Structure 1
Amino acid sequence: MNKSRHRLRTALVITVLAAVGVAPIESSAASTPPLSYVSDSSEPLKVRGSVGQVIVQGAPAAIKVRLISKRKKIVDQGITDSFGSYLFRSVRAGLGYTVSVGSGETESTLSSPVRVLAKKDNPTKSFYKNQKLVDGYQYLETRDGTLLAANVTLPGPIERGPYPTVIEYSGYDPANPEEPQPTSQIASLLGYAVVGINVRGSGCSGGAWSFFDDLQQTDGYDAVETVASQSWALHHKVGMVGISYPGISQLFVAATQPPHLAGITPLSVVGDVWADALYPGGILNTGFVVPWADDRQSDAQPAPEGGQGWAKRRVRAGDEVCADNQTLRLQTVDVRKEIDSQAYRSYQDSALISPNQLSQNIKVPVFLAGSWQDEQTGAGWPDLIPGLLGRVPLKVTMTNGTHSDSLGPDVITRWAEFLDFYVARKVPSISAMARVTATIGYAQLAGELVELPPDRFLPEENFKSALKRYESESPIRVLFDSGGGKALGAPKAVFEAEFDKWPPRQARITNYYFGDQGTITDKKPADSGVDSFRYEPSALPATSHSSGEDDYFNAFPDYDWTPLPPDLGVGYTSEPMTKPMVLLGPVSADLWVQSSQADVDLEVALTEVRPDGQEIYLQSGWLRASRRYLNKKTSTRLQPRPTFTKADEEMLTKKKPTLVRVPISAVGHAVREGSRLRVTVQPPGGNRPRWAFSALPGSQTATVSITHSRNYPSRVVLPIVTGVKVTVDAPACPGLRGQPCREFVATTTGG
């Protein structure tokens, strides 16, 4: 489990419970014998059709099973696991599938025919209405009969309802009754009924886990419709909440268009799983995504020998449903194998797990928030905005900071407004008790006293007029200099701006060209120049946070962002700014590259060099040079979009410079008067606190050259926004959230 997430949750729950005078629950685990991994031969064979799957349970262990079509043809076959289970995947929807067990003399009679469902085969309304959920822990049934673990927390007795209701749905542990998730806690504090549901194959939920497959999406549809049908659910509509995994899951569920979904609030998410986090620039992210996948694989193992801690405790305490739900766990996909198989992009496969490919299907109001320097999911999430803007009511908050900063006070109050408007359908307000609790919680987490902003709407205001005023506001809100205020390092912005488009229509696309002696300027180079550096990825630190402590929400995390060694990269700096330069949007680094090696991995970093010699981190982009071929239909001046396919791979040539456009994630930052903008080109490493990268196979020391001339004008393409009122004083360094500082050391170019 992610330590920062666990720590954030624990601190929040203690402060919430303390505020209402309740002691935290202590779990008890019975010392019953553990489950055996061997199938009970007395179990009757169970065969069920599902969405694109056929589920086999209760067969003998280690025996051949065959899937047979209505036309008596063998569709697939396999060997049951030690539970006597097998899962046929990627089965075409249709009727009449049967399963035979055994072979030769031991072959049994065929199972009864089953139907394989299509993703769009939704149950009737009565399926949902017939399920009754109560306060506390229980199980919710999905369309294929799988039981999902669910924990319902009501603000009061059922008979005093109905209550505004939200769902948190993920493969972490939202159904864990011992320790709710952060956004679930906050929603409960605000008076919402909260339903935490574990996705199939996780915790105490049945089924086998896979990363955002069709079943996780249709299960989410079923969860929304079941919860909304409850008598205690206000308006028989529900919202969804969650940060990170439970934030991403909202996007997939909303794309299935459950009729009774009122709105979603995804925080700190990805827009494109493959390009944003798994293979940024075509390079495997071994620092965060691979360990995250390993954790999910571990969580999906059968309890009580493996799996999540709370599931182990429930099985040992006698929860028979949770125990029975473990019998498909050995059919969980091998996530590491899946990652390795995706080294080149397959658009058919990656589109299935990329929310921005599905955003056109979302029909409900959306509140979206995230950080530029997110150390876990990155900053590709703003690519979701164009697919949503103008189609649904949309509110976006962008800020500098870390993964958890979407739970900061400037963001969470707008999140609460959104839920009040679209789920509770009331004029937004936050109670005095909630405000006190939040102040205590933020003080414990960030180490600084931070209060929630005041309510923006009056309680006596008419709901319709308040909603009209709310929806007339600009959809995109950008927070600047979070952490740079009076409470240095605290999650509080110094100033903000609003926009109606993304990228902003106020962005002036400006070229800054590399020049001699490590300079960058808006003037095209007149002379020829070449700068070279030693390409040796192993000589750089993997990350900018070497302590291993998950302290990113602290006011001052223990960053270890060391200067780039002068010969391991090239740097280019501008003249000091005569007025603030506001950068807002994605950036392109258009480099003319030569190398003594046929392929190299590149990182381009943007930083600000202060007059006092301190350098502050802004943003990075990455690219494996051989993956540089662009999708010409979707690439723009600010956003080069490589195809990343095997067919488009092309090695560098030693004969002449090759244009390599490196996509740099979106950023929002005001470079102050007197400061200089710096661009560095280097091997990947040392600039991000958690992201580290897998080196090229057989990668050795090489020489990489960047040409800057009239014919080969290397440059960065910047989104410079006008009309933003910037505060006069630059914030202290360090101080800005997610943006470490270091002493400026020039490279051999002088920049």
Structure 2
Amino acid sequence: MSLRWPLTLSCSLVLLATACKGDDGDDDVADEVGTETDSETGSEEHVFVDATFEVRESVEQLHITHAEPGVELRVVDSSGTELQRALTDDLGSLIFRQLPPGEGYSVEETSGSEREAARELAVMSVAGSQPDQSFYDNQVLEPGYNYITTRDGTTLSAYVFLPGPPEDGPYPTLVNYSGYEPSKPGSSLADQFDLGGIDLSSLCGLFPVVCDAPSDPSGILGGFLGFATVSVNMRGTGCSGGAYDFFETLQVLDGYDVIETVATQDWVLGNKVAMSGLSYPGISQLFVAKSQPPSLAAITPLSVIAHTSDSVMRPGGITNDGFAYNWGENVLDGAQPYGQGWEQDLVEAGDVICEENQLLHGQLVDVIEKAEANPYYTPEVYDPLIPERFAGEIEVPVFLTGAWQDEQTGGHFPVLWEALSNSPNVRFTMFNGIHADGYVPENLLHWGAFFDFYVSERIPMIPPDLRDVAPLLFGQLIGDQVEFGPDPYTGYASYEEAFAAYQAEDPIKVLFEFGASSAYDPGIPQSAWQLTFTDWPPPELQPQRWYLQPDGSFAPVARRTRARLELPHRSAGLAHDHAERRHQPTAAALDLAARRARHRRGLHQRALDRGHGHGRPGQRRSLHSQQRRRGRHRGQHQRGPARRAGDVRAERLATRERARARSDPDHRAAPGSDPRRGRRAAGPERRVGRGANRDLLVRPRI
């Protein structure tokens, strides 16, 4: 699809009639000349000339780049009605959103005697934007760094990892899709994680992912299990083009296009792919799956939300100005031009696509401002962003894990069980724990089995070589030398027999007392026991209502007592006028408002501070000439939950030490336990109560 559209002019009647001349009435006209009246500025004679700015036609949008900065443009429909007008940003870019699908649109400058204009533009509908199959078939992805073209011509950066040469394929394939930095070119595990000085280079022959690790955890884990992985940056992030808008329609359609493009590759087994990822790339799976890409085989959303507002933004009606706002601010920071840092390296190495793709990043939609503008439930705003409402549109198998005490996305996920009503097979694993526990070995064993059944179509088995090295890897990545459990399906004679047994299992598993396994030291993420269920909530359970008692306990019977609340100001003899203070903001609210205002100012200022050029033709190199990559130490400016499998390492280690130091004898380390290893040495049996896992509720990892 062309990014530059010629100016097609028709004969028009203005105050001074101008006739089209030519023998057959269809001579080309270079300029449209006329005298028009601007409703805001009064009469002004002006000439429309062919636009030097570029317009990309999109789904319910028009994207303008390479205009002069600070120029006012307007969009006019085929009837001549102005729909919107706005100023271009500091990079000369602008997006007109929420346009009705149709043809005959124009984008014009609104001032000056000579005004640039682009004519005969089309705005696509969702249904009308569907490409032919050849659009996907003609795209070729190779191992390493790539770009995937979407239906409106926007290119998304992608990193492809193969567990072997392409000619040795095809390989079962997983796709990770998020606004973090999944497509950042891969590097060795040693470059990405602190491995404690351990040299893993000798393992590159057995596990190529050791020396070519993608920049997303599920890509690394999938690589160890023999999967090809494709890690893709969402529109408006990293080196992907377009502008960021939290799960807008275009993001969902992009995900559809990614799935269909990847599935056509010769190295993809069965031309079907699954999706992987925890948290943000887990949530994105729900949105992409609702668009029903034909080549999507299954999804595995780990640690996800069920309701954008109730789960995270305003749980219980109270604004989550902790994790939710911090996450939003960090994602927005990363969605600015060159916001993630690594883009600059590619541009300086000659990546002109990444450079061009930065132009629209400043047109992002501020999700925090959007939330503040809708403090109450607005169906047209929130409904498209609520997985619980659209989960019934998902028609592929689903493997989902979640922690009741998830400190980032909350424990609201179980409502998705009933919402996923049209999925042919849904597997839920639920447990006490923290956000990143979807990636612990006990869950990964069944995560890999799910992919083997629905993508690889083979009997699931952890490779012996991986079993040997796994405790060492887990010890360095999450601080716990935990082993994989036994393979549950290797006793079956065929894939079909094993798959039938898998499908006959109870679909819901609850892991109890994570961090209290008798086989490991306190705090290590392994369950003590488990139960399975056929439905959730279990039908045999009956809800009960318990009441607070005068002594602070709970009981099933209410006691009538006269309640009294003693406030500190009463005992101090201070007056308290409710009418006077009713609508006065608290100090905390004022501080929050000030912080948000600083953030919004900062988004604009950071773009200016980077010294970008204005993006006019012939000056594109100036877009990055003065840009300097942000200085960033390990662990700083992480833009979202569980972006690395090793994020929890320090927290796990601290949790283990706290558990050992408890004064309760039940929480002391057993005699003979080795502090350097997670697994217990010989020692007496002991039980660990719930308190041992309480410290797993740690601060959000942004």
Identify the residue that residue 315 of structure 2 maps to in structure 1: 280
Q: Cα distance 1:120–1:418, how it changes in 2: closer, same or farther (>3 A)?
A: farther
CA distance, structure 2, for counterparts of residue 80 and residue 106 of structure 1: 18
Give the distance between the partners of 2:315 and 2:261, measured in 1 at CA. 38
Indicate how the Cα distance of structure 1 residues 740 and 217 shifts in structure 2: closer, same or farther if over 3 A, else same.
closer
| CA displacement at 1:497 relative to structure 2 | 0.4
In structure 2, the CA distance between the partners of 1:246 and 1:42, relative to structure 1 (3 Å rule), is farther
Structure 1 residues 452, 108: CA separation in 2 closer, same or farther (over 3 Å shift)?
same
Aligned partners of 2:104 and 2:122 also within 8 Å: yes
Counterparts of 1:379 and 1:71 in 2: how far apart (Å)?
A: 51
Instruction: Give the counterpart letter for 1:735 in structure 2.
Output: A
Question: How far is the alpha carbon of 1:425 from its aligned partner?
Answer: 1.3
Question: Are the equivalent residues in 1 in contact too, given 2:298–2:398 (CA < 8 A)?
Answer: yes
For the aligned residues, what is the CA RMSD? Answer: 3.0
Distance 1:164 1:113 in 2: 41
5+ residue gaps, structure 1, are 1-40, 543-547, 562-609, 616-727, 742-751
Aligned partner (choices 237, 240, 257) of residue 275 of structure 2 = 240
Partner of 1:731: 688
Match of 2:295 in 1: 260
Residue by residue over 1:374-418, the C-alpha shift from the partner in whole angstroms, topping out at 9 and shown as x without a partner, is: 111111111111111564211110011101101111111111010
**Matched-pair contact (CA < 8 Å) for 1:405–1:553:** no
Deviation at 1:160, TM superposition (A): 1.5
Pairwise mapping of residues 243-642 of structure 1 onto structure 2 (< 5 A)? 243-303=278-338, 307-389=339-421, 391-458=423-490, 461-486=493-518, 487=520, 488-525=522-559, 527-532=560-565, 534=567, 551=648, 554-555=651-652, 557=654
Where 2:465 maps in the other structure, the secondary structure is: helix
- Would you say the 8 A contact 1:48–1:114 is kept in 2? no
Q: 1:63 aligns with which of 71, 75, 89?
A: 71
| Mapped partners of 2:454, 2:568: distance in 1 | 53
Amino acid at match of 2:240: S
The residue number in structure 1 matching 2:23 is none
Partners of 1:42 and 1:151 in 2: CA distance: 38
- Structure 1 residues 43 and 232 mapped into 2: Cα distance closer, same or farther (>3 Å)? farther
Q: Is the 8 A contact 2:300 2:398 kept in 1?
A: yes
How many Å separate the matches in 2 of 1:282 and 1:560?
Answer: 36
Cα contact 1:614–1:733 (8 A) shared by 2: no
Conserved 8 A contact 2:666-2:686: no
Q: Distance in 2 between matches of 1:553 and 1:533?
A: 42
- Report the AA paired with residue 561 of structure 2: S
Per the alignment, in what secondary structure is the counterpart of residue 435 of structure 1?
helix
User: For residue 198 of structure 1, what is the aligned residue in structure 2?
Assistant: 233
Q: TM-score, normalised by structure 2?
A: 0.71
Structure-2 residue corresponding to 1:180 = 215
Q: Could you tell me whether the CA contact under 8 Å between 1:136 and 1:153 is conserved in 2?
A: yes
Q: Is the 8 A contact 2:219 2:231 kept in 1?
A: yes
CA distance 1:383–1:560, shift in 2 (3 Å): farther
Is the alpha carbon distance of 1:220 and 1:489 closer, same or farther for their aligned partners in structure 2, counting shifts above 3 Å? same
**SS of corresponding position for 1:110:** strand
Verify the 8 A CA contact 1:101 1:110 in the aligned structure 2.
no
The answer to whether the 8 Å contact 2:163/2:223 transfers is: yes
Deviation for aligned residue 1:493:
0.2
In structure 2, distance between residues paired with 1:124 and 1:291: 41
Identical pairs, percent: 38
Question: Does the CA-based 8 Å contact 1:400-1:738 persist in structure 2?
Answer: no
Q: Secondary structure at the match of 2:80?
A: coil
SS in 1 for 2:113: helix
Please tell me the residue identity of whatever aligns with 2:216.
Q
Q: CA deviation at 1:46?
A: 1.5
The one of 152, 155, 162 equivalent to 2:160 is 152
Residue of structure 2 equivalent to 1:209: 244
1:91 to 88, 95, 99: 99
Corresponding position of 2:7: none
When residues 733 and 274 of structure 1 are mapped into structure 2, their CA distance, relative to the original with a 3 A threshold, is closer
Q: Distance in 1 between matches of 2:499 and 2:65?
A: 51
Look up the SS of the partner of 1:517 in the other structure. coil
1:515–1:529: 8 Å Cα contact kept in structure 2?
A: no
**Following TM superposition, by how much is the alpha carbon of 1:155 offset from its aligned partner in structure 2, in angstroms?**
1.2
Q: 2:412 and 2:327 mapped to 1: Cα distance? A: 18
2:84 maps to 1:52: no
**1:236 is paired with a residue of what secondary structure?**
strand
Distance 1:739 1:232, change over 3 A: closer
Q: Residue 96 of structure 2 aligns to which amino acid in structure 1?
A: F
Assess if the C-alpha contact under 8 Å between 1:482 and 1:737 holds in 2: no
Structure 1 residues 87 and 538, CA, compared in 2 at 3 Å: closer, same or farther?
Answer: closer
Alignment partner, residue 616 of structure 2:
none
* 2-structure distance, mates of 1:215, 1:429: 38
Q: Deviations over 1:684-728 (max 9, x none)?
A: xxxxxxxxxxxxxxxxxxxxxxxxxxxxxxxxxxxxxxxxxxxx9
Cα distance in 1 for partners of 2:168, 2:655 equals 48
Matches of 1:731 and 1:147, distance apart in 2:
52
TM-score, normalized by length of structure 1? 0.67
Distance 1:95 1:454 in 2: 61
Q: Per-residue CA shift, 1:511-530, capped at 9, x if unaligned?
A: 211222222112232x3231
Aligned residue pairs, count = 530
How far 1:733 sits from its partner (Å)?
5.8
Whether 2:161 is the aligned partner of 1:133: answer no
Q: 1:39-72 deviations in whole A, cap 9, x for unaligned?
A: xx99942212212211111222211111111222
More strand, by proportion? 1
**TM superposition shift of 1:342:** 2.6
The partner residue of 1:166 within 165, 174, 177 is 174
Distance 1:521 1:613 in 2: 30
Please give the alpha-carbon distance, in whole angstroms, between the structure 2 residues aligned to 1:733 and 1:393.
Answer: 32
Contact 2:89–2:362 at 8 Å: present in 1 too?
yes
Q: How does 1:661-680 map to 2 (within 5 A)?
A: none
Structure number with greater Rg is 2
CA contact (8 A) 1:119 1:218 kept: no
What is the alpha-carbon distance in structure 2 between the residues aligned to residue 559 and residue 87 of structure 1?
51
Q: 1:169 to 1:521 in 2, by over 3 A?
A: same
Q: Tell me if the contact between 1:166 and 1:239 (Cα under 8 Å) persists in the aligned partners.
A: yes
Partner residue in 1 for 2:260: 225
Segments of 5+ residues of structure 2 without an aligned counterpart are 1-48, 187-213, 570-585, 592-636, 639-646, 668-684
SS at match of 2:693: coil
Contact 1:56 1:86 in 2 (8 A): yes
Q: CA deviation at 1:555?
A: 3.3
Amino acid at match of 1:250: Q
Q: Is 2:392–2:422's contact at 8 Å kept on the other side of the alignment?
A: no
Once the two structures are superposed, what CA deviation does each residue of 1:104-139 show, in whole Å capped at 9, x if it has no partner?
413224334223232673211110001111111010
1:233 positional shift? 0.7
Could you tell me how far apart the structure 2 residues matched to 1:157 and 1:43 are? 47
Tell me if the contact between 2:260 and 2:295 (Cα under 8 Å) persists in the aligned partners.
yes
The answer to whether the 8 Å contact 1:551/1:558 transfers is no
